[in-house]
Amino acid sequence: MMTPFRFLCITGFFAIFSSTIAKSPVLPIFAAWLGADPSEVGIVASVSAFAGIVASIPAGFIADHCGRRKMLVGAAVVFATAPFLYLAVTQIWQLAIVRLYHGIATAVFLPVGMALVSELFHQERGEKLGWFSTAMLLGRFCAPVAGGLLFSLMMLSEAHRFQAVYLVCGAAGLIVLLLALRIPKEEACRLPSRSFRASWSALKTVVASRAIALTCAVEAGILFVYGIFETFVPLYAIQSGISAVEIGVLLSVQVITLAISKPAMGRFSDRHGRPPQIFWGAVLGAACIALFSLVSSFPGLFMLSILLGLSLSILTSASSAHIADLSSTDTRGSAMGMLGSIMDIGHTAGPLIAGFVILQYGFGTAFLMAAVVLAAAASAFLMHAGRNALAGFRFGS
């Protein structure tokens, strides 16, 4: 039976496949081919995440007020049209504009989709959000491998190989639109009607919540790390003599680790509590990104990619569910939009800051800087959650 949840998962798979193949591992290589230096590569990579900063909270607010399915269809229109704009890019500034437009799709789809899943499920919220994330992560897993293989194996000029990748990206985006239009309308998915003033008051309540803000900050920290990983590990690996196909494997193994473990980590947070899982996931992530500064071989980078993927799974499977727990039905879209906006601040700032650090001090210093940022966010979260919350965390209970 094709339930609304399954439609969402399948749509999420193709949406994230389309979004990811546009950037991983092709985007930094494309930007460098256009003449970008490391700082400009970082700027281009940050633009789509900047769209999330601007669009996520308004998207969640509008979804709470007007309906979530409409917002998902709107995001699908962007997924279906943005990829074809890459075919006309010849300058760095053009690439940045296309990335900004493309980023709007993910900025809307993720928080609204998570809000809808959170509304449909209560007792199994963490696990269902985990499965929804897994569906999207499978798309993220397939995309770098497909993009790397397509780019490496196509016997064409470099410019035409980029075009081939973005044509595949566009085909996936069209599938997203067709699927989004078929997401069923069910009573369980509909929101009660209310005034704009009531929706605005609910949004202000979400923004003022310290617990929600600190949870968002930790996820921003792990996205700060992930943004640096996906943008600069390909260039770091090329500098170390690793092939494009192996780079695709490095990026994909992290994502498949996430996809395999996230439902289990979500179920674990349903049963054992979310704050401790958020904290320890951040600690593991900080340790992993720091170790990238010491490793340059493919086997070493492969293992670190797996561990970083596991840290992302541990943290994010609990953080989104924790924010859903802290919000009400009337504010859940806004809360997820706030999560999307703040985490995109981290995702945007990571490549942007790291690009300048790499230009001055090299890759190793940038990886260590990322570890410090994530550790600081984890410490702030720990101070709010309290030691007692962490002391009650037992893997065997």
Is the pLDDT confidence value at 74 over 80? Answer: yes
Q: pLDDT for 105-122, tens place per residue?
A: 988 898 888 888 877 776
The DSSP output letter for 34 is T
Tokens matching residue 52: 């999330």
Tokens matching residue 372: 């410090």
Q: pLDDT for 215-229, tens place per residue?
A: 888 888 998 999 899
Residues 6+ apart with CB under 8 A from 273: 389, 392, 393
- Distance of alpha carbon 110 from alpha carbon 208, whole angstroms: 22
The residue to which tokens 């002391």 are assigned:
391
C-alpha dist (Å) from residue 58 to 51, 242, 333:
11, 42, 9
CATH class assigned to 4-391 = mainly alpha
Instruction: Tell me the mean pLDDT in the region 124-149.
Output: 83
Q: pLDDT for 21-71, tens place per residue?
A: 998 888 988 998 999 888 888 888 878 877 877 887 787 778 777 777 888
Peptide bond preceding 351: is omega within 30 degrees of 0, i.e. cis? no
* Domain coordinates in residue numbering, the chain: 4-391
Output 3 or 179, whichever has higher pLDDT.
Answer: 179
Is the pLDDT confidence value at 196 over 80? Answer: no
Q: Tell which residue, 312, 380, 299, has the closest CA to residue 137.
A: 312
Q: pLDDT for 235-270, tens place per residue?
A: 888 888 888 788 878 887 887 887 788 888 888 888
Q: What is the pLDDT of residue 102?
A: 94
| Whether the model pTM is above 0.85 | no
